[in-house]
Structure 1
Amino acid sequence: MAKLNIPWSNVNSERDIINALVWNRWILRILGIWPLVYSNTTTIEKIIATISFALCWSALSFLLIPMAIFTLSEQTTINDKIKMLGPLSYVLISTLKYFFLVIHCKSIRQCIHVLSTDWRAIQQQNYRKIMIKNVAKSHMLSKICIMFMYCGGVCFQSVMPLLTHTTIDKQNITIKPIPCPGFDIIFDLHFTPIYVFVFCAQWFSGIVLFNVTTAVCCLAAMFVAHACGQIEIVMARVENFVKNAQSSRMKQRMAIIVKHHIQSLR
């Protein structure tokens, strides 16, 4: 009896999509952007995302405004202004990254839609293995990025101020160290409750900064790895086409290869 040529379909496509988006889903949820880039979200998720979105913008503003005031103030010396250029530039660039993530949410949503469509359109088991292999690479890059950002950031936000010695100003008042300088122009950091509030608020704001940078890196890793997987599938199709050059469906297979290649380039 002749074997029936039963078409293969990826019955695990939805689970594969969730696995491909796992790191970006968690990070973008923290930033409150996930409902903007993924339509299949519940009302509760949207409410939580709105709260997270407001908290993140408040945290970034809490860092940016006092540091900008301190840098532009006439009371600060030239040396203090130069020292503030690094921290202020980092906060400003992270805020712009967050802003661009928000305004480009439609483009990110479209890319996620294409990624999901590609997972549902798989027609061979070996093609799914290629895509899973590239997803594993993107997960590895995301983990490395998260590890470096949080290890370096937590050490800077928590450990460095604790290891820094307290100083005494001209009025014989002890100055306690904080992660981001310049807040003493607005807050009276000599008062312990205010110091604790500023320290904790800066620590929370730092977490938001790390998440913004991590989100950009994880999105780039996911989309680049997915594009690499699609190119590998095109190469596999070309090799299969060459091996079966005498097949009666040459034109149809060539059309599929060209169409897939154009989609991968987009």
Structure 2
Amino acid sequence: MHPSVQNDTVQPRNPNYKDDIIYVTRYLKWILNSIGIWPAMLKGIRSFLPTITIVLSNIVLVFFEVQCMLYITLEEKDPLLRLRLLGLASYSLVSLLKYWALTMRKSRIKDCIEELNKDWKQVELQRDRTSMLKYGKIGRGLIVYCAVFLYCGNLFYATILQYAIGSQIDDDNRTIRILMYPMYSGLLDVQESPIYEITYILQCLCSIMMNAVICGCCGLAALFSTHICGQIDIVISQLNDLVDGKFSKKNCTTNTRLMNIVQRHTKILKFSAMFETVLQEVCLFEFVGTTFVICLVEYYCITDWQQNNKLGLLTYSVVLTSLTFNMYLWCYIGDLLIEKVSNIHFNS
């Protein structure tokens, strides 16, 4: 059970609110906990775990981003290879910027989650709970789809493409083992054991963290947007019941029902404003940065097609599909919210 539920003193009207909250937030909570963003009320030394996670994650992400940029600018001389590595560096930079944005808005994320918990706790009618669960299931599904596509693309890049590149022999007849992210040799020699093994493991963790950041951003948008859609459905059902009052409490007047509708609608608007504040920077980085990376990956697909590099073409095609699908999810979430908001006008 989420801590905010425990600390809320309002008497719950939904006896199943604990299970409902766990159902709609479980996967997103796992993802955001892994990068220290999900709000948690831990006591004692455990209260520092999210901060420690954020600090360590930033150190790893910044370290490999700087290493990659140093290698591209100072060590790699081939312009085509520089262009290929630019896509990786851009993808890492966009993920890092999103992570900073989430960290900066962590308190706002906590406020949104607490409001979401209160709404689940105070839902009274079964038809309203069913409507919220319907959209909660949609948000949960979007989180799963996003994670599957992102991690599949990352798996292809980390395994198949690295296998296709294989080991190389330098001018000194020394075997060069390939890493996921290039490392600038002016700082340390990563080809020696156990430095290579440690670096490879850290790079795998870095890749997992970047995907967690991207999936977490999309998951937050899906969770909050679908929750708003569920609340709008409740307002629409209340509007349809305004005159008859079949689903209202006994002795509840029309004015009282209208006042409840206005209060809920105002609450939706406030929640939407909080939601916008949380993800406004993330949306900017998503659409600008991801569009740039998609263009680069499309170029890689074209060049691999011309060079008959089937493994490279397969890998970049999977990466392109995952990035495009992630962008599609953002557009779908926005269209879903716009359509649902418009329904209030048509049903009023």
- TM bin, normalised by shorter chain, reads 0.7 to 0.9
Change beyond 3 A, Cα 1:161–1:225: same
Change beyond 3 A, Cα 1:75–1:160: closer
Letter paired with 2:211: F
1:14 aligns with 2:18: yes
Question: Structure 2: how far apart are the matches of 1:157 and 1:208?
Answer: 14
Whether contact under 8 Å (2:76, 2:82) holds in the other structure is no
Structure 2 unaligned blocks of 5 or more: 1-11, 271-348
- Give the deviation of 1:109 after TM superposition: 1.3
Letter paired with 1:235: I
Residue in structure 2 matching 1:264, options 243, 261, 268:
268
Structure 1 equivalent of residue 203 of structure 2: 202
Structure 1 equivalent of residue 30 of structure 2: 26
Q: Deviations over 1:126-150 (max 9, x none)?
A: 1111111111111111111111111
> So what's the TM-score if we normalise by structure 1?
0.86
Structure 1 unaligned blocks of 5 or more: 1-7
Alpha-carbon RMSD: 2.4
Structure 2 equivalent of residue 123 of structure 1: 124
Residues 28-67 of structure 1 mapped to structure 2, 5 A cutoff: 28-34=32-38, 37-38=39-40, 40-43=41-44, 45-67=46-68
Whether contact under 8 Å (2:67, 2:182) holds in the other structure is no
1:152 aligns with 2:153: yes
1:193 aligns with 2:197: no
Residues 172-187 of structure 1 mapped to structure 2, 5 A cutoff: 172-187=173-188
Residues 234-245 of structure 1 mapped to structure 2, 5 A cutoff: 234-244=235-245
Question: Structure 1: how far apart are the matches of 2:127 and 2:24?
Answer: 17
Whether contact under 8 Å (2:71, 2:183) holds in the other structure is yes
Question: Structure 2: how far apart are the matches of 1:136 and 1:194?
Answer: 45
Structure 1 equivalent of residue 100 of structure 2: 99
Letter paired with 1:256: N
- Give the deviation of 1:190 after TM superposition: 3.6
Q: Deviations over 1:166-209 (max 9, x none)?
A: 22233333222221224445332442433222222211111111
> So what's the TM-score if we normalise by structure 2?
0.67
Q: Deviations over 1:50-75 (max 9, x none)?
A: 33223312220231121122233276
Question: Structure 2: how far apart are the matches of 1:43 and 1:29?
Answer: 18
Whether contact under 8 Å (1:23, 1:139) holds in the other structure is yes
Structure 1 equivalent of residue 139 of structure 2: 138
Structure 1 equivalent of residue 231 of structure 2: 230
Question: Structure 2: how far apart are the matches of 1:76 and 1:47?
Answer: 44
Q: Which protein has the larger Cα radius of gyration, Structure 1 or Structure 2?
A: 1
Letter paired with 1:231: I
The residue matched to 2:267 in structure 1 has which SS? helix
Aligned length: 255
Whether contact under 8 Å (1:10, 1:123) holds in the other structure is yes
